[in-house]
Structure 1
């Protein structure tokens, strides 16, 4: 049982109320993540501002969703994988095969996006200690040094929401239920 409340506009701290009103206006509902983060208005504000900053990067909308989905899958955040699967497919119009590959922990059907996915996965798994071949492969795939840091920004943004969702035990919104996700269990090889 969670120790946290999913706030409405009425129950949120006064400082968070305008932020939740903005979420309602933008999405047509208040995502449970936003309601949970409202407990700490600075955390909700940081999440909203990091979202806006990440949207200003040179990465395409699909590339941004790849970063967010990979980071969320690596952090086993069922809420964010479901939410970003819906956003990627319906709002960004990302090829569903790309989203499904990420959700199933499979290689992406596009080599440049696979390089982005692999680099993002390495950033998350190695907690930012990335150099050598992983960095070289990312640059060789056509990404820039600036985009290396933009991936770090995306991972930072998702780490805030992934970790918060784990702690808050954020319930999945009805809007994302069609994309509910559980981490696939790897198949063991038979000998």
Structure 2
């Protein structure tokens, strides 16, 4: 079964990724990353995609709504824990965090539109209805944001699946 890799046990090609994560966290490598390191390609891909996703035009809390919607939907407990901490660091309202973790309606209509759009994209494998897209756009989001939501779904679906596979 998958074990937590370290700088001493990881494949050489995973070491740059592990070092990036160690610098970001300022401490030990999280188990999810330590297990992802079994595949340098997966680790590098995930780190590159998260860097790109963090540069999207979605605001930071909206990005986290996408991540949490994916994590809760895919039952990735480690992701929910990590991104709950991130939402707290972003000063997201406790009611928003509670609604995300319980997968209930968000008290902020703009953020709720993001969560609903994630659901619509998943349910239709991306072929959302015109009404679903219009609902998303009507809450101040753009077509670019819609594509950025797809990017977030892809990035964090990969992560949640890897975490569940490796029992992170």
Cα offset for 1:129? Answer: 2.4
Q: CA RMSD in A?
A: 1.1
Unaligned runs of 5+ in 2: none
**3-state SS in 1 of match to 2:10:** coil
1:173 maps to none
2:144 is aligned, of 138, 143, 146, to 146
> 2:30 is matched with which residue?
31
Whole-Å Cα distance in 2 between the matches of residues 46 and 128 of structure 1?
A: 22
- Provide, for residues 34-82 of structure 1, a one-character-per-residue CA deviation record: whole Å limited to 9, x for no partner: 1111000010001111110001100111111111001111111111111
1:8 maps to 6
Distance 1:93 1:9 in 2: 33
SS at match of 1:130: coil
| 1:23–1:30 Cα contact (<8 Å) kept | yes
Task: With the length of structure 2 as denominator, give the TM-score of the two structures.
Answer: 0.95
Deviations 1:65-107 (A, max 9, x none): 11100111111111111110111112x2211211111101110
CA deviation after TM superposition for structure 1 residue 4, in Å: 1.1
* Structure 1: unaligned runs, 5 residues or longer: 171-191
Tell me the residue number matched to 1:130.
128
Instruction: Report the count of equivalent residues.
Output: 167
Output aligned runs, 1:15-94, within 5 Å.
15-27=13-25, 28-90=27-89, 92-94=90-92
Q: Which residue of 2 aligns with 1:99?
A: 97
Q: Which moved more, 1:117-126 or 1:27-36?
A: 117-126
Give the structure-1-normalised TM-score.
0.84
Q: Distance in 1 between matches of 2:163 and 2:123?
A: 19
1:112 aligned partner: 110
